[in-house]
């Protein structure tokens, strides 16, 4: 069995540096892959150069998210009244993903918009995911669906891992799959080892952080030694995105890789 592969989320890690300098910092800390949600302020060519210069692989980009505190802060994929904008933004995300050689676009689902029923938002969500899946066909870029916890994202459209799997299955295109975020899963679902047993097969991507504070593994309530052993035993061979806020400096907090991961 090969070692687990961790990538650095450059929104969360290496924030001691300006964004474009985080690539070199991640490579210097031993990462060979990165992910970040928001490539849009930068030219794709500039980002690609940073990847190539530092020998890094791009794992994912997100569809755009609105400003914190707005209804759109967790994406608009489920917004029935913003379909043309969703489509434009998705196509832009797909262009970035292709230009960066990324594996995935994360279709950030969104919190059910004010004045809209959950059922109506859910129907739009599934329709938008299906449309995006058709657009991505043949590009080599696959699409991710993530359930988020209700504490951080009240009203988020996907509430459980099983629901995310069900939507991916409905699309039935092979290019839509689950982003299993251990942080969200622990907060709302728990029973992590059982959950990993049922939900890891077929998951396209994994992200990690330790609740309740969303710091690095080993700082909170999750037994990451067991979680990493279970991921390894499952045969999962994709990337594991480090999507956490370092408790006291990114590099100072990286010891968990040797201490907890096989
Ligand atoms: O917050 C998370 O978890 C994410 O994966 C974000 O990129 C999307 O909300
Ligand atoms: Mg996540």
ipTM: 0.98
3-state SS assignment for residue 168 = helix
User: What confidence score (pLDDT) does residue 26 get?
Assistant: 98
Query: Which atom of ligand 1 lies nearest, measured to the CA of 62?
Result: 7
Q: Locate 86 and state its tokens.
A: 């969703």
Distance 109 CA to ligand 1 centre (A): 10
DSSP 176: E
User: What confidence score (pLDDT) does residue 153 get?
Assistant: 96
Which residues, given as ranges, of the chain have pLDDT below 50? none
**Chain-wide mean pLDDT for the chain?**
97
User: What confidence score (pLDDT) does residue 172 get?
Assistant: 81
Is the CB of 159 within 6 Å of ligand 1? no
Query: Which atom of ligand 1 lies nearest, measured to the CA of 75?
Result: 9
Which member of 35, 89, 146, 199 is catalytic? Answer: 146
| Residue in 8, 104, 243 to alter for ligand 1 test, most ligand atoms within 8 A of Cβ | 243
Give the CA distances from residue 146 to residues 99, 182, 207, in Å, rounded to whole numbers and listed in that order: 23, 11, 10
Q: Locate 185 and state its tokens.
A: 């899963």
Q: Locate 130 and state its tokens.
A: 């299906």
- Closest-approaching ligand to the CA atom of 65: 1
Domains in the chain: ranges and CATH: 5-260 (3.20.20.150)
pLDDT (tens digit, 9 = 90+) per residue, 135-178? Answer: 999 999 999 999 999 999 999 999 999 999 999 999 888 999 99
pLDDT (tens digit, 9 = 90+) per residue, 206-238? Answer: 999 999 999 999 999 999 999 999 999 999 999
Separation of alpha carbons 123 and 257, rounded Å: 41
C-alpha neighbours within 13 Å on the C-beta side of residue 126 = 15
Burial of 174 (0-12, 13-18, 19+ CB in 10 A): exposed
Query: Which atom of ligand 1 lies nearest, measured to the CA of 184?
Result: 3
Say if residue 14 is preceded by a cis peptide, omega within 30 of 0: no
| Residue in 10, 11, 34, 62 to alter for ligand 1 test, most ligand atoms within 8 A of Cβ | 62
Please give the angle made by the CA atoms of 84, 130 and 148, to the nearest 5 degrees. Answer: 90
User: What confidence score (pLDDT) does residue 221 get?
Assistant: 98
Q: Locate 177 and state its tokens.
A: 């799959």
User: What confidence score (pLDDT) does residue 202 get?
Assistant: 83
Distance 209 CA to ligand 1 centre (A): 11
- 134 catalytic, yes or no? no
Q: Locate 259 and state its tokens.
A: 């201490």
Separation of alpha carbons 123 and 136, rounded Å: 20
Is the CB of 77 within 6 Å of ligand 1? no
User: What confidence score (pLDDT) does residue 173 get?
Assistant: 85
User: What confidence score (pLDDT) does residue 1 get?
Assistant: 53
Neighbour order of strands in the sheet with 142-145: 57-58, 33-35, 5-9, 239-242, 203-208, 176-181, 142-145, 104-106, 60-62
Separation of alpha carbons 42 and 163, rounded Å: 34
């Amino acid at each position: 069995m090969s070692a687990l592969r961790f990538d650095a989320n450059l929104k969360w890690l290496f924030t001691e540096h300006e964004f474009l300098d985080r690539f070199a910092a991640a490579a210097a800390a031993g990462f060979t892959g990165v992910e970040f949600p928001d490539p849009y302020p930068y030219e794709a060519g500039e980002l690609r150069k940073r990847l190539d210069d530092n020998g890094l692989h791009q794992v994912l980009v997100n569809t755009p998210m609105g400003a914190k505190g707005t209804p759109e802060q967790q994406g608009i994929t489920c917004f029935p009244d913003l379909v043309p904008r969703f489509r434009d933004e998705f196509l832009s995300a797909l262009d970035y993903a292709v230009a960066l050689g990324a594996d995935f676009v994360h279709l950030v689902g969104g919190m059910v918009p004010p004045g809209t029923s959950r059922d109506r938002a859910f129907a739009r969500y599934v329709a938008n995911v299906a449309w995006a899946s058709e657009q991505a066909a043949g590009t080599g870029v696959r699409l991710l669906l993530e359930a988020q916890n209700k504490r951080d994202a009240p009203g988020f459209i996907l509430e459980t891992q099983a629901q995310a799997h069900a939507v991916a299955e409905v699309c039935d295109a092979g290019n839509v799959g689950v982003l299993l975020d251990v942080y969200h899963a622990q907060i709302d679902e728990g029973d992590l080892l059982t959950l990993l047993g049922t939900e890891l097969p077929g998951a396209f991507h994994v992200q990690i952080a330790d609740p309740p504070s969303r710091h690095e593994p080993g700082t909170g309530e999750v037994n990451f030694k067991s979680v990493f052993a279970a991921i390894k035993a499952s045969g999962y061979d994709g990337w594991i995105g480090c999507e956490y806020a370092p408790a006291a400096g990114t590099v100072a907090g990286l010891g968990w890789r040797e201490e907890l991961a096989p």
